[in-house]
Amino acid sequence: MPRYSKTFLDHFNNPRNVGVIEDAERVGTEKNEVCGDTMTLYLRMTGDRIKEARFQTLGCSASIAASSVTTELVTGKSVGEARALTRHDIAEALDGIPPAKLHSAVLAIDALKAALDGAEAGGN
Amino acid sequence: MKRQIYLDHAATTPVDPRVLEAMLPYFSENFGNASGVYAISQTSQGALEEAREKVAEILGCSPDEVIFTGGATEADNAAIAGAALGQRESGDHIVTSAIEHHAVLHACESLDDFGFETTYLGVDEFGTVEPEQVAEAVNERTNVVSIMLANNEVGTIEPIAEIGAAVRERAAGLGRKVVFHTDAAQAGGVLDLNVYRLGVDMLTLAAHKFYGPKGVGILYVRNGTPFRPFQYGGSQEGNRRAGTENIPLIVGAAEALRLAVEEQGENNEHCKALRDRLIRGILTKVPNSTLNGHPTERLPNNANFCIDGAAGESILVGLDMEGISASSGSACTSGSLDPSHVLTAMGVPAERAIGSLRLTVGKGNEDRDIDRVLEVLPGIVERLRRVSGVG
């Protein structure tokens, strides 16, 4: 098993912002078709800003940790700022991800893009 | 400090102290090259031949049919390539199953480049290979059939004797020699290894799976079997495996096998009791979990599950933090992203295969280890299901 950083293991063990936002303005789901990991990201917006983010992820420890840290990274950011995030920002925020697990950070970024690109969920 | 609980004996086992002791004199003291004529070489030569005889006695074969290799992967590679290329002029077809170890599967694939074709047979939902199907796949161009004695992931024991009989009958009907190989890497010290009762022409063993050292394997090759050597150099191992014999590892492999077979009944009972407690406990305490592999025809040490709503790798990290070492056939553990080829062949859908967990017990495990797994696993799974919202 690859060695994970303390921050990584903390996000895996105590993931932040787990769950659904029922009336989220924006929702994005991304699936890694090869390994099957699936992440759904829910965003509550105030104007152009992300006010709250929650997630549900079925996947390996890296996908869970990446999802968790992504919700922290995007909260309070404008859509433009959130779009500028890369997989490297996620890896850095976790104090590193083993290279073989970088695809988990990609999954989180893709779910974020899907949420930001998606039609507004419509407050229902 | 928390007791470390090792439940990955299908991956590897610790070297038995008695085995280590048998090996030690052959590193610095009796270090002679077994090919020399002087006294210390004769000691090495004697140890080598004694090891070969020990193994031959267990396999029920002649000592000159035992080849020591650098591991089971090498033995599998040498068996497949050796038998395929050994009668290249009369055939170019290989038959194997979809659930073999990659040491067999990738060896078969590598022969594509040399004009060979391989038939990969499917298995039923329990991972069992059907003997009649194997026989039917054998044709007038088939050189070698390779089916494992027991599966490393789900623990299913294959009906090797029946498969061997069916293959021989078919081959006789076709009037050709079809070499029958079995990868018995998971079966050393666990199942009957008599090559006549199994009806095999070649058989692979890995010492580190039965409390022997890593880096040494055993390949049985029946006399008269077409075999093209895989490694070139000196005349060691009857011209079938060149290279200076690794005496300490060979001594260790033979002693480990002898001990494992001597204590087989006792160890199997011990493992079976722990395995059955694990299986019953997990199926009861973890909702939406299912057992993979055969319910009865399975290795005494193997318990393998699919757990809905949690990925195998995440469960492993959770267990590791509790001091429990386990394994998973699922994607993310090996660096490869693909779901287990074994579960896929058994018809397990990808979304379930992602949650696979393999626990393989060994002689060092105790009841309290199982208690501990049953105590922490339900909580780990529940937590992961809250995160996934599934299951």
**Closest Cα in chain B, distance from residue A72 (Å):** 16
pLDDT of residue A124: 38
**DSSP state string for B179-248:** EEEEE-TTTTTTS---HHHHT-SEEEEEGGGGTS-SS-EEEEE-TT-----SS-SS-HHHHTS-S---HH
The SS3 assignment for B149 reads coil
Chain center to CA of A44 = 14
Angle, CA of A82, A85 and A91, to the nearest 5°: 135
Query: Active-site residue B332, yes or no?
Result: yes
Which amino acid is residue B118, in one-letter code? T
- pLDDT by residue for chain B (391 residues), tens only, comes to 678 999 999 999 999 999 999 999 999 999 999 999 999 999 999 999 999 999 999 999 999 999 999 999 999 999 999 999 999 999 999 999 999 999 999 999 999 999 999 999 999 999 999 999 999 999 999 999 999 999 999 999 999 999 999 999 999 999 999 999 999 999 999 999 999 999 999 999 999 999 999 999 999 999 999 999 989 999 999 999 999 999 999 999 999 999 999 999 999 999 999 999 999 999 999 999 999 999 999 999 999 999 999 999 999 999 999 999 999 975 555 556 678 999 999 999 988 999 999 999 999 999 999 999 999 999 999 999 999 999 7
Angle, CA of B106, B112 and B114, to the nearest 5°: 120
Q: Please say whether the beta carbons of B328 and B313 come within 8 A.
A: yes
- Given its phi and psi angles, is residue B128 left (phi above 0), alpha (psi -120 to 50 degrees) or beta? beta
Q: Please say whether the beta carbons of B249 and B23 come within 8 A.
A: yes
Q: Which two tokens stand for residue B105?
A: 């599967």
The answer, yes or no, to whether residue A120 has pLDDT greater than 60, is no
Chain B contacts of A9, Cβ < 8 Å? 317, 321
Chain B contacts of A6, Cβ < 8 Å? none
Q: Indicate yes or no: CB of B317 within 8 angstroms of CB of A61.
A: yes
Give B219: exposed, middle or buried? Use CB within 10 Å, 0-12, 13-18, 19+: buried
pLDDT of residue B336: 60
Least Cα distance to B226 among B84, B385, B21 occurs for B84
pLDDT of residue B335: 56
Q: Indicate yes or no: CB of A64 within 8 angstroms of CB of B314.
A: yes
Quick one: chain B helix, strand, coil %, rounded to 5?
Answer: 45, 15, 40
Report the residue from B313, B351, B386 with minimal CB separation from A18: B386
Q: What are the residues of chain A with a beta carbon less than 8 Å away from any beta carbon of chain B?
A: 1, 4, 9, 12-13, 15, 18-20, 32, 34-38, 40, 56-64, 100-101, 103
Give A114: exposed, middle or buried? Use CB within 10 Å, 0-12, 13-18, 19+: middle
Between residues A59 and A36, which one has the greater pLDDT? A59
**Closest Cα in chain B, distance from residue A117 (Å):** 23
- The H or E element spanning position A91 is helix A87-93
Which amino acid is residue A50, in one-letter code? I
Report the residue from B332, B388, B390 with minimal CB separation from A35: B332
Whether the ipTM is more than 0.85: the answer is yes
| Pairing of β B93-97 and β B117-121 | parallel
The SS3 assignment for B262 reads helix
pLDDT of residue B339: 83
Least Cα distance to A12 among A4, A20, A3 occurs for A4
Which amino acid is residue B335, in one-letter code? G
pLDDT of residue A38: 95
Give B374: exposed, middle or buried? Use CB within 10 Å, 0-12, 13-18, 19+: middle
Angle, CA of B298, B75 and B48, to the nearest 5°: 110
- Count the neighbouring beta carbons within 10 Å of the beta carbon of residue B364: 14
pLDDT of residue B31: 96
Which amino acid is residue A15, in one-letter code? P
Report the residue from A15, A40, A60 with minimal CB separation from B332: A60
pLDDT of residue A122: 46
Chain B contacts of A20, Cβ < 8 Å? 389
Least Cα distance to B286 among B389, B375, B155, B353 occurs for B375
> What residues pair up with B8 in beta bridges, in sequence order?
B360
In whole angstroms, give the CA distance from residue B245 to residue B233.
12
**DSSP state string for B332-368:** GGSS--SPPHHHHHTT--HHHHTTEEEEE--TT--HH
